[in-house]
Amino acid sequence: MPNAQPGDAQPGDVQPVPEPFTSRTGPAALADLRSRLRATRWPDAPEDAGWSLGTDLGYLRELVAYWADGFDWPAQEAALGRLPRFRVPLDGLGIHLVHVRAVAPSGPVLPLVLSHGWPDSFWRYTKVVPLLTDPAAHGADPADAFDVVVPDMPGYGYSDRPAGQPLDSIAVAGLWARLMTVLGYPRFGAAGGDIGSHVSRYLALDHPDRVVAVHRTDAGVPFFAGDPAVLAPEERAWIDGAAAWGATEGGYAAMHRTKPQTAAFGLTDSPAGLAAWIVEKLRAWSDCGGDVERSFTRDEILTLVSLYWFTGTIGSSMRMYRANAAIAPAQLARRVETPSGFSVFPGDLVRPPRAWAERTANAVRFTEPARGGHFAPFEEPELYAQELRAFFRPYRAAAAG
């Protein structure tokens, strides 16, 4: 294959076979979780601190009490199991994925790989999968149907943890290219947010002959090594704003980049601590107006936290930050020439201006939906599905050809 990249199929390759996968948590693991929750040793908090210092003590007490005595994990686990799920060996790692084919399409079907971020997993896309695979059942055009692939990144969810050094976004992009070959998709679209935005970007950069278009909900953390004088005022303001956000809200990321294993001991041992670490981000990064349960029900929150708890992946998920921090600046500076779309939701963390999107990518579409935040596919699945349908519509024939 000319200009072959890691992850592309090579002549003579023996392709692995995806095997159906179902998760079932045993009664002993459930009993252990409930025992730990009931025995939580609570910290003190200043009076009326609320969420100003991190997770609100009163809210977390209520959430943990419900997790211990009201939340039905077996029912939620069974609901997740209704999605077609598989495990496939890739480069020595078992990769878990959701793979759903288009239902009754009326035109070319575009394969689409969706990449999640932190602190989540395939959970991010569970609501949007049926909207993308069966648009006609949801009042949309059947010609917009996708074959959808949602993998858990290595060290997240039900995918294996790397035994040695964590993989960075470039390496994961190579894995996803290999995965799409295994699934029989020579050309496809890519979409993602957060770390998944990075992975989708490197898919487009390193596999341009295979990725017909790439959609992202953010532009990552800004990197610019040139003369700031060439930047538009809104670009300079965005870079300054990103730095200010990092100073006030980026403590978690500094921990993940530098000493993730230290935090992993406590978060792996204490379910209340794990819930505090995750729910604070769900609240701060969603378009919820300060009330996390405007964007997520308690069952939805605890489904995500329980996925982390029962898979024991909080430590391995955080270590990917350390791997990404070591990516060379030359990689960060590459411009994406593959047709790119950006949907910048109002409640997301650091929202890039259009000028930056156009500077760093071949941005053929840039929109600002009315609602939604960092977890837009879960918070606003209908809006997110509309964004993907509209962006990818011109590229369906290219993938089919």
The SS3 call for residue 264 is helix
- Any catalytic annotation for residue 308? no
Helices then strands, counting H and E runs in the chain, come out as 17, 9
Q: Which of 56, 147, 194, 218 is catalytic?
A: 194
- Any catalytic annotation for residue 66? no
Tokens of 212: 């017909």
CA angle 175, 181, 183 (to 5 degrees): 105
Cis, bond preceding 119 (omega within 30 deg of 0): yes
- Asked if residues 30 and 76 have their Cβ atoms less than 8 Å apart, the reply is no
Question: CA–CA separation, 229 vs 226, rounded Å?
Answer: 9
Strand partners, 94: 89
- Collect all residues with Cβ–Cβ distance below 8 Å to 303 and sequence separation of at least 6: 73, 76, 80, 123
> In this structure, how many other beta carbons lie within 10 angstroms of the beta carbon of residue 120?
27
- Any catalytic annotation for residue 194? yes
Question: CA–CA separation, 362 vs 49, rounded Å?
Answer: 45
Backbone angles phi, psi at 26, to 5 degrees: -80, 160
- Asked if residues 278 and 305 have their Cβ atoms less than 8 Å apart, the reply is yes
> Which residue stretches of 220-288 are H helix?
233-249, 251-258, 260-269, 271-285
Distance of alpha carbon 369 from the chain centroid: 19
Q: Which of 168, 374, 384, 395 is catalytic?
A: 374
Considering Cα of 114, then 146, then 391, then 137, what sign does the dihedral take?
Answer: negative
Quote the crossing angle between the two packed helices 314-325 and 260-269, to the nearest 10°. 170
Tokens of 43: 């910290």
Question: CA–CA separation, 356 vs 314, rounded Å?
Answer: 32
Residue labelled with tokens 């704003």: 241
Tokens of 351: 């929202």
Beta-sheet pairing, 188-192 with 85-90: unpaired
Q: Which residues are catalytic?
A: 194, 321, 374
